[in-house]
Amino acid sequence: MKSKTIHILLSISITVVVIWFLLKPNYTYYKTEIIKGKDLQVVIYVQNNFSHFGFSSQNGHKLAYIELQNLDGNTLAKQSLFNRCEVLIEEINPFVENNKLYFTKFSYINLLDYSYYCFK
């Protein structure tokens, strides 16, 4: 009885992990934007999965996230897998103001401690 329960729980766990890996969003490199006046660049990754169908003119409605890197390519700020600040690709417009790198109108990365502040 005990081994049967362990076998069932193990099967359920493996199934959940496989489903998660199959359904999790995949992101690919989209483009890099260099921040003028700073030695920084923003690398944009866009979601490519089967939930988005449409014409190429609708590409601005895809979800994306950004990473902050220095010009050598070293990552300074990266979002975690479980707490990702996703925005629409059309909303991304990086600019620096008051030691904050705004990548949308309200969402930004604090350049003092490289932490994300995401407002949706």
User: Does the residue 2 lie in any domain?
Assistant: no
Q: Which domain holds residue 38?
A: 26-117
| Residue, of 21 and 49, whose pLDDT is higher | 21
Number of structural domains the chain divides into = 1
Distance from C-alpha of 53 to C-alpha of 56, rounded to nearest angstrom: 9
Count of other CB atoms within 10 angstroms of residue 91: 13
What does the pLDDT read at residue 101? Answer: 92
What does the pLDDT read at residue 120? Answer: 67
| pLDDT (mean) for 61-86 | 85
What does the pLDDT read at residue 111? Answer: 92
Distance from C-alpha of 63 to C-alpha of 67, rounded to nearest angstrom: 14
What does the pLDDT read at residue 19? Answer: 83
Q: Is the confidence at residue 119, as pLDDT, over 90?
A: no
2-35: per-residue pLDDT in tens?
888 888 899 999 998 888 777 777 888 999 999 8
Q: Is the confidence at residue 51, as pLDDT, over 60?
A: no
Q: What is the DSSP string of 61-108?
A: GSEEEEEEEETTS-EEE---SSS---EEGGG---EEETTEEESSSS-E
91-100: per-residue pLDDT in tens?
899 999 999 9
User: Does the residue 108 lie in any domain?
Assistant: yes
User: Does the residue 10 lie in any domain?
Assistant: no
| Residue, of 49 and 42, whose pLDDT is higher | 42
